């Protein structure tokens, strides 16, 4: 699985600098969480890694190889979006036609028998009931959409998995369950994962390492324990403190 190196990465939209000379290394097979307030640059960073945006300055390397000039399809990256971005006109799975779960496989001209085996395996792992196969996205709950989006991302094993607040549309109880399942799936697949959230409690639960982001830059990077016990400045300290008040049990020493 791929190590990601970001070197002086910068992205501007007019007068707004969304990502500002950001440098970081995300280790192979690591679950790396980026947490920060709204509009701090989290989603822009994911889109740069995915190849959906081009940086104005800086470079991106996977396993030491530059990928900055490569398009999204050439990078071996999959992304789960906040709104799931399922194809509204396609069913969850259809053996004969393009469908949400089979789409990446059909693009690669995978044999029908192999597609069926892969999709059924994913459905079993993600607890997608076969009764849902014939439904279209508007007929699914938020939790079901989240599972289908994850399945589509994993249909062709990615080198890197990017997740942009994938649990934000779930109700609190479903979100807690899905959070555990996301971490369990990562531990099973060992794919390098970059996960974006504004929820620090979620970040502390999921991360091997995490970065606190503000104004397009990483203010502090470390394990959840390091950031909890040794916040680098007042911003990180106040950010952590606000979630301690909301999540007493999680942050007990």
**Residue at token pair 């069926």:** 116
Tell me the three state secondary structure of residue 245.
Answer: helix
Report the largest interatomic distance among the alpha carbons of the chain, rounded to a whole angstrom: 57
The sign one gets for the Cα dihedral 28, 57, 233, 82 is: negative
- SS3 for 244? helix
In a structure prediction context, what are the per-residue pLDDT tens digits for the chain, which is 253 residues long? 699 999 999 999 999 999 999 999 999 999 999 999 889 999 999 999 999 999 999 999 999 999 999 998 899 899 998 888 899 999 999 988 899 999 999 988 999 999 999 999 989 888 899 999 999 999 999 989 989 999 999 998 899 999 999 888 888 888 888 888 889 889 988 999 999 998 888 898 999 999 999 999 999 999 999 999 999 999 999 878 776 666 665 444 4
Q: Go through the chain and tell me how many residues it has.
A: 253
Strand 209-214 and strand 217-222: the pairing is antiparallel
Task: Count Cβ neighbours within 10 Å for each residue of 93-107 and write b for 16 or more, e otherwise.
Answer: beeeeebbbbbbbee
CATH of 24-76+158-253, one of 3.40.1110.10, 3.40.50.10470, 3.30.2040.10, 3.40.50.300: 3.40.50.300
Domain spans in the chain, listed from the N-terminal domain onward: 24-76+158-253, 88-155
Query: Alpha-carbon distance 119 to 154, whole Å?
Result: 10
- pTM for this model (two decimals): 0.88
Residues 125, 187 contacting (CB under 8 angstroms):
no
Query: Which residue stretches of 190-233 are H helix?
Result: 200-206, 224-229
SS3 251: coil
């Amino acid at each position: 699985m791929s190590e990601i190196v970001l070197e002086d990465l910068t992205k501007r939209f007019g007068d707004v600098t969304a990502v500002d000379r950001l440098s970081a290394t995300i280790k192979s097979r690591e679950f790396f969480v980026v947490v920060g307030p709204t509009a701090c640059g989290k989603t822009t960073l994911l889109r740069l890694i995915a190849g959906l945006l081009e940086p104005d300055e800086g470079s991106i390397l996977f396993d030491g190889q530059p990928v900055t000039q490569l398009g999204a399809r050439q990078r071996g990256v999959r992304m789960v979006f906040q709104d799931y971005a399922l194809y509204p006109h396609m069913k969850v799975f259809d053996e004969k036609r393009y469908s949400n779960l089979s789409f990446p496989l059909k693009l690669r001209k995978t044999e029908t028998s192999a597609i069926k085996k892969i999709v059924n395996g994913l459905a079993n792992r993600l607890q997608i009931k076969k009764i849902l196969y014939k439904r279209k996205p508007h007929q699914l709950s938020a939790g079901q959409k989240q599972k289908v989006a994850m399945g589509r991302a994993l249909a062709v094993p990615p080198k890197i998995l990017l997740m942009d607040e994938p649990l934000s549309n779930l109700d609190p109880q479903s979100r807690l369950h899905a959070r555990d399942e996301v971490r369990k799936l990562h531990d099973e697949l060992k794919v390098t994962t970059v996960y974006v959230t504004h929820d620090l409690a979620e970040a502390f639960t999921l991360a091997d390492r995490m970065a606190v982001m503000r104004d397009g830059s990483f203010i502090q990077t470390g394990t959840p324990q390091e950031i909890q016990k040794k916040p680098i400045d007042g911003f990180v300290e106040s950010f952590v403190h606000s979630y301690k008040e909301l999540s007493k049990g999680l942050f007990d020493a």
